[in-house]
Structure 1
Amino acid sequence: MGLFFTIIASFPTIVYTFFVFVAIIFWIVATLGLLDIDVLDFGDMSSAGDHIDFHGDTGWFAGFLMKFGLDLVPLTIVLTIFFIIGWMICYFIQLLVLDFLPLGILRIPVGLLVLVVSVFPSAYLTGWVCKPLRKVFKKLNEEQNAISGSSLIGQTAIVRSGKVTSTFGEAIYDDKGAGFNLRIRADESLGLKRNDRVVMIEYLEDGAYNVVSEDEFKGI
């Protein structure tokens, strides 16, 4: 066990260790509803699917992800898998190779080389792992796109985030199927919280919905 902790806390593996730790913290916070799961996504986003649209001006990074078959899958999932695979590659290279070489002052440049080289097999393996997920998210996106934003006005959803503000909030809309995750917004003074029932009253330009509580909508 001592060797394990020594390796994950030493260069170059520690770089991936840090990002894996950040990913774990992110998913814990996201599960508690304190962060939007699509917080790292960029480009044109689907209001429900929150996937990366590679037809927009998303730059070289989007093209890099698409090259390895990582489009359509939420970026947070892609990066989490990428960091875990990269961490495993660096860990075993350090365990089986680097620790047996008398590198001396060359340890840092060799470690940097391992980090750079590890990106490509990590991206390839991430694409392989995400390949079946692409079909799932593609189908989900097609189903969600079948429902226009305005068509959900007046519909009821259940808050899944810890709170709802003018810049943050998530809710689940029950479509009698798997359900849709939606971004919602409301005045924080309304005090909306997890499991509250809300009604969507306006579709916003950023793909989110302005909501009020169900009781307020009904005038109770």
Structure 2
Amino acid sequence: MEAFISNIFHYPTVFFTILLAVITLYWAVAALGLIELDVLDLDVDFDADLDVEGLTGIAGLMVTLGLTGVPFTIVLTLLVLLGWFISYFVVHLFFFWGYGTFMTYLVGTALIPVAIAVSIPVTAALIRPLKPLFKKAYAPVPEKVLLGRPCKVRSTRVDENFGEATADLEGASLILKIRAEANNKIKRGDMVVLIEHYPENNTYWVVPEHEFNSNH
């Protein structure tokens, strides 16, 4: 255990350890419903890997590297986790220099981009079998199928700018971005009804289920 602790805080593994801690915190906060799951996602279509033309910047690079087709947060998690493993075992097996030495920083700094470069094709291979699943999960659902349907709030609050809920559709559980008036005081676990869809940001306006039932 002492050797493990020493290695994860040894440069350059500590670089990936910090990133891994941040990502773990993100997943924990997202699971609690404090932030929306796609808060870090890039605006890349799930079919983008079929058509690279017209894509630039990070989106174009990710398509070229085969890192699209699943949420960006999953790609980032795998990249950091693989980079951490590579760095950890290289440090454990081959770093014989003491902490803070010139060779540690020289070789360690060179190892970071190498670990990332090795992680990219491995991540691309790992996410390949997941792409059909996410393509189906993220396929647009016709408004008429969801509007008027009850769903359960999974976020800690719902207002004009924030909110998530889960809805069951033919055995599948969908996570939807929802919005509502803040004075409704909708909270986690409440049942709401989808009454309007805003396609520009793919959000749904909701009202409490008891309010919807009383008006219909």
TM-score under structure 1 length normalisation: 0.86
The counterpart of 1:77, out of the listed 70, 74, 79, is: 74
Residues 191, 207 of structure 1: CA spacing in aligned structure 2 closer, same or farther, 3 A cutoff? same
Check whether the contact 2:44–2:59 (CA below 8 A) recurs between aligned residues.
no
Structure 1 stretch displaced more, 132-141 or 205-214: 132-141
Check whether the contact 1:202–1:211 (CA below 8 A) recurs between aligned residues.
yes
User: How far does residue 156 in structure 1 lie from its aligned partner after superposition?
Assistant: 1.5
Residues 80, 102 of structure 1: CA spacing in aligned structure 2 closer, same or farther, 3 A cutoff? closer
CA distance in structure 1 between the aligned counterparts of 2:44 and 2:103, rounded to whole angstroms: 44
User: How far does residue 158 in structure 1 lie from its aligned partner after superposition?
Assistant: 1.1
Residues 52, 192 of structure 1: CA spacing in aligned structure 2 closer, same or farther, 3 A cutoff? farther
Structure 2: tracts of 5 or more residues without a match = none
The counterpart of 2:174, out of the listed 168, 175, 180, is: 180
Q: State the match for 2:87 in structure 1.
A: 90
Q: How does 1:42-191 map to 2 (within 5 A)?
A: 42-43=42-43, 59-99=56-96, 104-141=101-138, 144-145=139-140, 147-149=141-143, 151-191=145-185
Q: State the match for 1:210 in structure 2.
A: 205
Q: State the match for 1:35 in structure 2.
A: 35
Q: State the match for 2:25 in structure 1.
A: 25
Structure 1: tracts of 5 or more residues without a match = 46-50
SS at 1:202 equivalent? strand
SS at 1:179 equivalent? strand
Aligned length: 212
SS at 2:125 equivalent? helix
Greater relative contact order (CA < 8 Å, ≥ 6 in sequence): 1
CA distance in structure 2 between the aligned counterparts of 1:84 and 1:29, rounded to whole angstroms: 19
Check whether the contact 1:150–1:202 (CA below 8 A) recurs between aligned residues.
no
SS at 1:174 equivalent? strand
Residues 136, 207 of structure 1: CA spacing in aligned structure 2 closer, same or farther, 3 A cutoff? same
Residues 25, 64 of structure 1: CA spacing in aligned structure 2 closer, same or farther, 3 A cutoff? same
User: How far does residue 151 in structure 1 lie from its aligned partner after superposition?
Assistant: 4.4
Aligned-partner residue type, residue 20 of structure 1: L
CA distance in structure 2 between the aligned counterparts of 1:210 and 1:44, rounded to whole angstroms: 24
CA distance in structure 2 between the aligned counterparts of 1:163 and 1:52, rounded to whole angstroms: 32
User: How far does residue 106 in structure 1 lie from its aligned partner after superposition?
Assistant: 3.3
Structure 1 stretch displaced more, 199-208 or 51-60: 51-60
Aligned-partner residue type, residue 19 of structure 1: L
SS at 2:187 equivalent? coil
Aligned-partner residue type, residue 11 of structure 2: F
Check whether the contact 2:69–2:131 (CA below 8 A) recurs between aligned residues.
yes
SS at 2:33 equivalent? coil
TM-score under structure 2 length normalisation: 0.88
Aligned-partner residue type, residue 18 of structure 2: F
Aligned-partner residue type, residue 113 of structure 1: A
